[in-house]
Amino acid sequence: MTAFLNQCFSGLAMGGIFAILALSLVMIFQATALLNFAQGEMAMASTYLAWQLIQHRVPYWLAFFLTVILSFAAGVLIERLIIRRFASAPVLTVVIVFIALVFIIDSVVGWIFGYQLQEFPSPFPDHNWFNNPLVSSHQSGILLVTLIVMAVVWAFFRFTTLGLAMRAAAQNPASSRLVGIKVGWMLALGWGLAAAIGSIAGMMAAPLVYLDPSMMSSLLLYGFAGAVLGGINNPWGAVLGGLIVGVSVNLVGAYLVGTQLQLAVALTMIIGVLLVRPSGLFGRTIVTRV
C-alpha cells in the first residue's frame, strides 16, 4: 500500500510539472493555434538564469521572481523580434522556426554553461511537511505551486481587463481590433506569459531531474500529452491532463505493463480518449461557421 501511495504521489509531483508546462503551451496555443516546440528549451534557459542568480548568492525567492519577470520579457522579445515576422507565413514555416529555436537555445546555453549536470536547490524544507512519511516537501511544494499558478492564470483571464482583451484577441482578432485592442501586443503578452509560466516549470523540475541543457526535452513530451489530453484550449483541462498523465504513467509502469512500455501505454490511452473526445477531456468543441 505504501508503495502504491508513493507511486501516486511521485506521479502527482511530476504531473504538477507536466501541468505547468501544459499551461504554458496552452497560453501560446490559445493565441496562435500553434504548439510551441521550443517551450521546453525556453524553460531550460530560464532555469539556468535562476541557477546563475542563486550561484551569485541571490536569495532563492528573489531569484525565482526575477527569473519569472526576465523570462516574461524574453518571451515578449522573442515574439516581437522573431515570431512576428512569420505571422503570415505558412504553418510549416513557423514550425521550422520553433524547431530552430530549440537547437539555438540548446547550443547557446550549452556553450555558456557547459553540459555538466548541476544541482538546483529546492525552496522547500528538507523534512516532510506535517511529518507525513509519504510526500517530500518538494513534491507537495510542486503541487502547491501548480495550484497557485493555475489560480493566478485563471484570475488574470477572469477578472482583469487585460485578460479579457487577450481572450478577445485570441477568439476574434478582427472584432477586437475594431474595439481598440492591440492584437499584436496581446500575442506578445501571450508569449511573455508562456515563457514566465514555463520558467516556473523549469525551476520546479530542476531539483528532481537536475539541471542540464537536455533537462526539458523529455518533460515537454509529457507536457504536450497532458495539454492534449485535458484539452489544449482550456487551462484547467491542461492542468488536470498533466496530473493525470503523471500518475497514470507511474501506475501503468509499476503495475500493468512494466517500465519499458509505460510511455507507450500512456500515449495509447491518450489516443483512445481523443478518439472519443477529439477536443480532449475538458476541451471546448470549437464550431467554425463555414
For another protein, which is the closer residue by CB, 5 or 69?
A: 5
For another protein, which is the closer residue by CB, 260 or 288?
A: 260
Structural contact between residues 43 and 193, judged by C-beta atoms closer than 8 angstroms: no
For another protein, which is the closer residue by CB, 79 or 212?
A: 212
Structural contact between residues 211 and 112, judged by C-beta atoms closer than 8 angstroms: no
DSSP 31-66: HHS---TTHHHHHHHHHHHHHHHHHTT--HHHHHHH
Q: Which of 13, 253, 257 is nearest to 129 (CA)?
A: 13
In the region spanning residues 156 to 185, those forming contacts with another protein, defined by CB under 8 A, are none
The x, y and z cell numbers of residue 104, run together, are 539555438
- Asked if 103 touches another protein (CB under 8 A), the answer is no
Among 32, 146, 194, 212, binds another protein (CB under 8 A): 212
Structural contact between residues 246 and 52, judged by C-beta atoms closer than 8 angstroms: no
For another protein, which is the closer residue by CB, 161 or 260?
A: 260
- Asked if 263 touches another protein (CB under 8 A), the answer is yes
For another protein, which is the closer residue by CB, 7 or 279?
A: 7
- Asked if 222 touches another protein (CB under 8 A), the answer is yes
- Asked if 105 touches another protein (CB under 8 A), the answer is no
Span near another protein by CB under 8 A; candidates 87-95, 211-219, 231-239, 278-286: 211-219
The x, y and z cell numbers of residue 59, run together, are 536569495
Query: What is the CB-side half-sphere exposure of residue 194 using CA atoms within 13 A?
Result: 30
Q: What is the Cα 72 distance to its own chain's centre? A: 14
Residues that bind another protein (CB under 8 A): 2-4, 6-7, 10-11, 14, 17, 110, 114-119, 136, 205, 208-210, 212-214, 217-219, 221-222, 249-250, 253-254, 258-260, 262-263
